[in-house]
Structure 1
Amino acid sequence: MSISLFQIPLTKLQGVGPRKAGELHALGISSVGDLIEYYPFRYEDYRIRDLREVKDGERITIQGKIASMPSLQRFGGKSRLICRVMVDATLVTAVWFNRGFLKEQLALEREITLTGKWDQRRRQLTVADSEFPDRGGAKTGTLQPVYSVGGDMTQAAMRGLIEKALIQFGDYIPEILPTELTDKHGLMARKDAIAGIHRPENTRDGQEARRRMVYEELFLFQLKLQAYRAMHARKSDGLVHTVDNDEIRTFVGALPFELTGSQKQVINEILHDMKQPYVMNRLLQGDVGSGKTVVAAVALYATVRAGHQGALMVPTEILAEQHARSLGKMFESYGIQVGLLTGSVTERKRRDLIASLQMGLLDIVVGTHALIQEDVFFRSLGLVVTDEQHRFGVNQRSILRRKGMNPDVLTMTATPIPRTLAITVFGDMDVSTLRERPKGRKPIKTYSVKHELMDRVLGFIRKETSAGRQTFFICPLIEESEKLDVQNAIDLHIQLSQALPELTIGLLHGRMTATEKEETMAEFAAGKTHVLVSTTVIEVGVDVPNATLMIVMDADRFGLSQLHQLRGRVGRGEHQSYCILIADPKSENGQERMRAMTETDDGFEISRRDLEIRGPGEFFGTKQSGMPEFRLANLLNDFEVLEQARDDAAALTSSEAFWSSPGYGSLRDYLARESQHRDEPLD
């Protein structure tokens, strides 16, 4: 009879009562299955080392005979126990702190095993753990797992409980992977792998056990993504866009600039998808200023020419207003009507716009989350474009898709993602990447300075202003905060107005009304304002080609990708641009980010470093992106395994046998259980 370890309560384990079960619950362990798959995050090495191979400061285990009578010293309520131990031909000084009770056990010529930190110069070991072989020496020669524990739960207790669980229930650990995959990659049996992670015989066995379980973890995650993708591809019920290539060429040829090779390639990929009977689900990623908006405009033009409507959803009203203006100008001579729908649109305008959408009088609508409200309907929604997709939750994006009959979906992000993570997070999408800068764009020169150099920064502002250029000045908060000692926009606006009386200083922040924000941005874009003091409301998409100087106050308070986004607000015109990061040199993580910013302006490299600093969960925002928290897999180090798992899952789910053969029943059951966590069912 099949038994699920995740349905067996902890109290079924020998020696576990309600109290012990409560301690395990506090660690997120609710069943025997959870306990067995509660993996160690590192190991303590109790294998005996040769002192000739040991480096100073290493944690080592040695074995020898006690060669001197122990000496116990007491000081201030603490104690230090010292004796000499002969290890092969070397006399080692062993030191225990606050272990006076061991003195009586340290008899001359008695064998002892010591683990601790080695001091090469003094030939001294600061002992963390010791055992006597004549009493068994359970740890000696082993790799001991170290678990995340807390409360009353100790390492020894956790090791003991997991050992009991493996003995009592180990035979019920099921094999999940089909034989064809374990044979293909030379993977050990699942039962042996789990046991090998908890109690590895040696380093190689431990590595093989981990390799098996990392592959399984990544394969099962990819299986969900690829199955979802396969199910939708099999339906073939998307809109087929009938696109005239000559019309597209004419539209592109009329643009006031030449597209990069990268833009042309991506446009071809998107148009190819739009002509197919399946639903396009494509991610367009590119660095700041790489020209994603133009690519989206070509796709929107194509959907309108094919007789459908397009929607562009963006995270902020400022960005929505900017896109509506730029698309309106771009499409004006083609008779294509563009509307704007945000929370600030008056009720009358909103009613008129919704009516126009329903009757098909409006071809393209640009908006914020206001687009997904219940009363917004389209006559024929053919293409959904979501900009800065990580700002929207999975459900928000899904609601907009459901406004049409399986419209094509283009998702854009200016946070470039390393290939490994694109496979992981967007495994159910095709990925297009813009890597080239538009012609004529110059690299932005970036500097990190201390607060004490503010006078020089002000001098630089005057210099750029005298050359006819403009400046963004960014700070983290709107008003003064008692919790954070950081500059705020309102105070900074006052200070700069006093320090630079000859200049016009504007102020922009999220608490202003839409009209106030639009007026402020319009004045800055028209060159009437020399310096714009702002919060990160301008982080995404704002385009002022004449702005050549980006100054970020308290830059150590910002994330690396956010700093890169802010830097991308300048360098959009023909003149040399600069980014000055004013940071606290005492902030260790902050300085690490400053080094990254000054060493590279490649968004993909910035993204990689940001991932190293923050980890994938925080990098994406786990709740927003569906980023998994893997138990064992490390997306930076296990990228080869990830690609194998992705390819295997894609091949399996695209085969008819996977969906019908009894041999894959357990995997199909797994998908059925997991599908309820997605925003759309598998079938």
Structure 2
Amino acid sequence: MLDLYTAKLTDIRGVTEKKREELQELGLHSVGQLIEYYPFRYEDYTLRDLAEVKDGDKITVRGQLASNPQMQMYGRSKSRMLCKVIIDNFFVTAVWFNQHYLKDKLAAGAEIVLTGKWDQKRLQLTVSEAEVSGQGGSKIGTLQPVYSITGTLTQKWMRKTVKQALTQYAGLIQEVLPRSLVDKYGFMPRRAAIGMIHEPGDLEQGQQARRRMVYEELFLFQLKMQAYRAITHDRADGVAHPLNLPDVRAFVRALPFTLTESQKKVVAEILHDLQEPFCMNRLLQGDVGAGKTVVAAVALYAVVKAGYQGALMVPTEILAEQHKRSLDKLFAPYGVQVALLTGSLTDRQRRDVLGSLQMGLVDVVVGTHALIQEDVLFRQLGLVVTDEQHRFGVQQRSILRKKGMNPDVLTMTATPIPRTLAITAFGDMDVSTLRELPKGRKPIKTYAVTHDMLPRVLGFIEKAAAAGRQTYVICPLIEESEKLDVQNAIDVHVQLQQHFAPHGYVTGLLHGRMTAAEKDEVMRDFSENRVHILVSTTVIEVGVDVPNATLMIVYDAHRFGLSQLHQLRGRVGRGEHQSFCILIADPKNEVGKERMKAMTSTGDGFEIARRDLELRGPGDFFGTKQSGVPDFRLADLLKDFEIMEMARDDAADLVRDPEFWTAAAYLPLRQFLQREHIFDSDVLD
């Protein structure tokens, strides 16, 4: 039976084999996918009154040509064409660039509709499109969709093809939402909404259509999450760990520091989950330095003492070694055996660790991607912890989970997002948040400077080194780039080496192209203060802990995202001394300026994350392709947050209703869940 998703693109009139290939480059393989490929904005051809427009606006106006065009040619094919136009009693200069082929169509006295950018001071319109009265179809008063396109595809062809697809296949567009929800919110029918998103009569209609389809997209996402949670809780096929709570409390009391109230609350939530018969799936988010690792250590200790093994997966070898050292210190008095599993181990070391894991001689294994290889087997894996979860693909996390009989899962991230947004976006996870920083942490003083202040920055580094402190210097590139005029790590390393070597200070270099052994050696030298200034790319962004480093310098800081800058800043301020972060940025870069303002005005990672979401949008922010947060076609997690909450509540209510699982009215939704494999024994990701 033909449906939208089996109908071929070449069945649409006007789609050749060549065009089909170009559409496939956009990820479009069926008529259904093309119809659901929505425009990202509209060109507004509503006629405007010149008296009401602002300088720089893109406008559409109607006027009368007051002169024949004057042509100026320069270069081989470049041209500038000028024409006087009377618009709303204004005498306006219309300018066309490189459109000399229009000259013969423009004659004094003709009625014309112009679209372009308005220059208030010069009373000048730089024309992008022009329609002379009586010369073809008009766009006046319409909203024209603008699509993301590639290759030889044009907006005109894309608009025509989507329209043709809707003409041929509109009859196959089926309603997805139950009648109760359509009536509850007064939504237009699905078929009308899809058509109107592609070709809205006016802005109001377009917004109504978008609202309906955004709700549908978020509702289906939430339904998937809520159904999964309901099924896994009912299934109760996890492990109810028989925890020795007095023993765990004694371990917490013996820690070399007191847990913050935030940490105590999160530990209680995790211990509660570990004792339940369903699989824990908890996201632990906290600011840089909020003490997530200690919370994970308590959870791992509790599971080990209950007779199970734990695994901690981190994105880099340096971080794995650091966690191994931290856990060794905490666990040594209790006989908990910790092993390290990374790609750098020799064959013999690796065999020893694998054998010990399988026999249960290792209680906790800390590792990188090496943990998910096929030959890594556990005797009884009870808890999987992944640190910096956005660094791992969905697939990788899933493989590690499958190495145990439905082990509990704790996912940690230092990219905080507003808790309500996290609960909604990660609908299948419980969310715990660490808001406080451990006592005694001094706020990091942050300054934004320009490149001409570099001599003062070097003086600041020298002052820190003279006091026995260390400095990170971060660059965006490894080697010089012809395309980008930005500082690169190799050049900066040479410059700083020449500057500081005469003073007796050692400058090290760290970047992603070095071997793991080379990176480890440099980091070890820096950790043990044999290297005083470390020039690095963002390879040190995550987790490295050197309490003696008190100065973070970031070259070309405007090129980094806000959350990344905050992560980098979090590498200092880990000891008792006052720490500083100096951001060297281009003052002309507008987005960069906003980022510098945010970085110097707050040290709160949640506030930074909120502003980052506003500046970058959720796709980039969540690292959508890796994080498991869906890349929505229409919905925007920030702007459509209220709709997301409505959709979540509606999905939860529906899943709790026994009728949902049996009534014919909900069959399309149950079929959707079936297609999404929610009823499989597999873990949702």
Structure 1 length normalisation: TM-score?
A: 0.88
Deviation of 1:138 (Å): 4.0
Instruction: Give the aligned partner of residue 489 of structure 2.
Output: 488
State the SS of the aligned residue for 1:405: coil
Given residue 460 of structure 1, which amino acid in structure 2 is its aligned partner?
A: F
Which letter maps to 2:654?
L
For the residues of structure 2 that align with 1:613 and 1:392, how far apart are their CA atoms? Answer: 24
Distance 1:538 1:146, change over 3 A: closer
Cα contact 1:309–1:364 (8 A) shared by 2: yes
Look up the equivalent residue of 1:190 and give its one-letter code.
Answer: R
1:102 aligned to 99, 102, 105, which one? Answer: 105
Q: 1:374 to 1:448 in 2, by over 3 A?
A: same
CA contact (8 A) 1:555 1:590 kept: yes
Range 585-594 or range 268-277, more displaced: 585-594
- Conserved 8 A contact 2:145-2:198: yes
Q: CA deviation at 1:408?
A: 0.6
User: Structure 1 residues 238 and 149, CA, compared in 2 at 3 Å: closer, same or farther?
Assistant: closer
What is the correspondence of 1:76-475 to structure 2 with a 5 Å cutoff?
Answer: 76=73, 78=79, 80=81, 82=83, 85=86, 87=88, 90=89, 92-93=91-92, 95=94, 97=96, 98=100, 99-103=102-106, 106=109, 113-118=113-118, 128-129=128-129, 138-149=138-149, 151-419=151-419, 422-423=422-423, 425-475=425-475
2:623: which partner in 1? 621
Checking the alignment, whether the CA contact within 8 Å between 1:312 and 1:385 is kept in structure 2 is yes
CA distance in 2, matches of 1:140, 1:476: 47
* 1:439-458 deviation digits (Å, cap 9, x = unpaired): 11111011233444333223
In the TM superposition, residue 391 of structure 1 has moved relative to its aligned partner by 1.8
SS of structure 2 residue aligned to 1:283? strand
Contact 2:66 2:86 in 1 (8 A): no
Equivalent residues in 2 for 1:580-591, closer than 5 Å:
580-585=582-587, 589-591=591-593
Q: Within 2, Cα distance between the matches of 1:662 and 1:640?
A: 30
CA offset digits 1:57-110 (Å, max 9, x no partner) = 43444456x5x86433233385746455474xx355473644333345845xxx
Instruction: Answer whether contact 1:475 1:489 (CA < 8 A) is retained.
Output: no
Residues 159/533 of structure 1: CA separation in 2 closer, same or farther (3 Å cut): closer
User: C-alpha distance in 2, partners of 1:624/1:226?
Assistant: 22
Q: CA deviation at 1:118?
A: 4.6
Higher mean displacement: 441-450 or 270-279: 441-450
- Corresponding pairs, count: 675
CA drift at 1:176: 0.8
Per mean C-alpha deviation after superposition, the further-off stretch among 628-637 and 206-215 is: 628-637
For residue 238 of structure 1, give the secondary structure of its aligned residue in structure 2. Answer: coil
Tell me, in whole angstroms, the C-alpha distance in 2 between the residues paired with 1:105 and 1:181. Answer: 57
- Distance 1:357-1:200 versus aligned 2 partners, 3 A rule: same
Which string of whole-angstrom CA distances, capped at 9 and with x for unpartnered residues, describes residues 554-610 of structure 1?
444544333222211111122210112334556555554434322322222333333
Separation in 2, partners of 1:43, 1:205: 13
- Asked if the contact 2:419/2:431 (under 8 Å) is kept, the reply is no
Q: How does 1:14-25 map to 2 (within 5 A)?
A: 14-16=13-15, 18=17, 21=20, 24-25=23-24
Partner AA of 1:501 in structure 2? P
Moved more, 352-361 or 669-678: 669-678
Deviation at 1:212, TM superposition (A): 0.5
Distance 1:335 1:493, change over 3 A: farther
Which residue of structure 1 lines up, in the alignment, with residue 598 of structure 2?
Answer: 596
Amino acid at match of 1:38: Y
Counterpart of 1:203 in structure 2: which amino acid? L
Deviation at 1:291, TM superposition (A): 0.5
Letter in 2 for 1:210: R
Question: What residue identity is the alignment partner of 1:221?
Answer: F
Post-superposition offset of 1:309: 1.5
Q: 1:103 to 1:523 in 2, by over 3 A?
A: closer
C-alpha distance 30-133 of structure 1, shift in aligned 2 (>3 A)? same
Q: What is the rounded CA distance, in whole Å, between the counterparts of 1:11 and 1:508 in structure 2?
A: 54
Specify whether residues 549 and 131 from structure 1 end up closer, same or farther in structure 2 by C-alpha distance, changes over 3 A only.
Answer: closer
* Structure 2 counterpart of 1:575, one-letter code: H
**How far has the Cα of 1:323 moved from its partner?**
1.3
For 1:19 and 1:493, the matched residues in 2 are separated by 51
Aligned-partner residue type, residue 258 of structure 2:
E
Change in Cα spacing, 1:536 to 1:669, as seen in structure 2 (3 Å) is same
Q: Is residue 663 of structure 1 aligned with residue 665 of structure 2?
A: yes
Deviations 1:213-235 (A, max 9, x none): 11112222233333333332221
Alpha-carbon distance in structure 1 between the residues aligned to 2:180 and 2:612: 38
Shift in alpha-carbon separation, 1:583–1:255, aligned structure 2, 3 A: same
Q: Could you say which residue in structure 1 is the equivalent of 2:502?
A: 501
Deviations 1:149-194 (A, max 9, x none): 4555443443333333333332321111111222222211111111
The change in CA–CA distance for 1:189 and 1:242 in structure 2 (over 3 A counts) is same
CA distance in 2, matches of 1:94, 1:480: 45
What is the CA-CA distance between 1:622 and the residue it aligns to? 3.6
1:635 paired to 2:637: yes
Cα drift, residue 349 of structure 1: 3.3
SS of alignment partner, residue 6 of structure 1 = coil
Q: Structure 1 520/187 Cα, relative in aligned 2: closer, same or farther at 3 Å?
A: same
1-structure distance, mates of 2:56, 2:478: 48
The question of whether the paired residues in 1 share the 8 Å contact of 2:149 and 2:155 is answered with yes
- Taking the aligned partners of 1:508 and 1:117, their CA distance within structure 2 comes to 49
Alignment correspondent of 2:3: 4
Q: Which amino acid aligns with 1:486?
A: Q
Q: 1:141 to 1:679 in 2, by over 3 A?
A: farther
Instruction: Spell out, residue by residue over 1:519-565, the C-alpha distance to the aligned partner (whole angstroms, 9 max, x if none).
Output: 65455444454334444443222222222112234444544333222
Measured in 1, the distance between the counterparts of 2:151 and 2:516 equals: 50
Which residue identity is paired with 1:488?
A: A
Cα distance between partner residues in 2 of 1:225 and 1:636: 19
Asked whether the equivalents of residues 416 and 604 of structure 1 are also in contact (C-alpha less than 8 Å), the reply is yes
- The one-letter amino acid paired with 1:560 is L
Gaps of 5+ in 2: none
The superposition leaves residues 358-417 of structure 1 with CA deviations (integer Å, 9 ceiling, x where unpaired) of 222222222222222222222221111111112222222122212211111101111213
> 1:9, 1:44 → 2: CA distance?
29
In 2: Cα distance, 1:69 partner to 1:570 partner: 67
Q: Is the 8 A contact 1:284 1:412 kept in 2?
A: yes
Q: Quickly say closer, same or farther: Cα 1:625–1:255, change in 2 above 3 A.
A: same
Closer/same/farther in 2, CA of residues 419 and 136 from structure 1, 3 Å limit? farther
Deviation at 1:251, TM superposition (A): 1.7
- Deviation at 1:293? 0.8
Describe the superposition over 1:246-271 as per-residue Cα deviations: whole angstroms up to 9, x where unpaired: 22222222222221111111111111
Match of 2:69 in 1: 72
Instruction: Name the aligned partner's letter for residue 7 of structure 1.
Output: T
Whole-angstrom CA distance in 2 between matches of 1:83 and 1:488? 54
- Fraction of identical pairs, as percent: 63
**What one-letter code is carried by the residue in structure 2 that aligns with 1:505?**
V
Q: Tell me the equivalent position of 2:30.
A: 31
CA distance in 1, matches of 2:464, 2:306: 47
